[in-house]
Structure 1
Amino acid sequence: MSVQQEVEKHQNPTIKIISDNRFDEGINETSFGKSLLPKQKTTIEHIIRTYYNEFGLGKYQLGKIEKHQVNITLNTNKPYPPILKKNPYPASPHNRVEIEKGIDESLKVRIIMLSW
């Protein structure tokens, strides 16, 4: 299903679409791919506005990083980075401790939250 079809499928008057100055400033500072057509950029912005909670823009903002420039580059070109191709496997006891530390830290700064 294309992005446009996804937007059309979910255009529902009961869905809350946000519009505020902070969000608009964030969208304006976002660097979209240069190959996107204006209509494609508008479609992406609409999806972000519609599903803002899923993008960490709602009640539980992602990261809470202040005074630091953060660049996130998403690469969907093949070949994928090796980390994306790894199958899940049991972690060693030492690695498990480090994983737990990372999870605890992410919970503490609200990058992730528990879902029971």
Structure 2
Amino acid sequence: MPKQISVISSVNNTYKQEFVANQLVEAQISPSLLQKMRHDLIHLLYTYKNVFASDDEPLGTNKGHKVDITLNIDRPYPPVLRRPAYPASPRARGALEKHIQELIQLGVLRNVGHNDAVEVLTPVIISWHNDKSRIVGDFRELKTYTVPDRYPISIIQETLTQLSKAKYITSMDTLKVFHQMFLTPKLGNYLELSLTVVFMSILECHLVLKMNHLIIKE
């Protein structure tokens, strides 16, 4: 792999330099790229800078589209789509309450009112990795009744076909850049969660990414 150079050395615009210094501080570009290619790359990232997390917007501010799904059944929905909360240990319950408060403050979750009709209810669990917790929704039953008409995660064979024709390949790891998927009100109703503490409705889904190294290869 060729030696990498700092991204900021490819920028001569003050606003872009500030963006690079704050958001792409760890990113690097292969020196095999021509100067124009480096400028074009930085311009592209700057154009879509709202997908990056920042101190003011910890989830980014990428808006303009909403995700929706269609169920392959009509009302009344089967009881299997209205599932009670899973039992939780005191440790999991404490972690769950902490995650809920954080997600409410970020605008990802909202409380479901007593007068709101709840037709689809999904339980959640707390998963642990290296003593760190994460809240996970069990949407397997909902997926069973969902029309498979969109694929936000690329199909492997299609990705390989695209890569075989690509002139440049971008390599990113998965820890810092956020891509938001705002939900339609209808989908928000489908994504109501049954917790051990309260009913919640998801307002946004987030795919969490981190741009640690940005490498462009010819």
TM-score normalised over the length of structure 2: 0.22
TM-score normalised over the length of structure 1: 0.34
Which is strand-richer, 1 or 2? Answer: 2
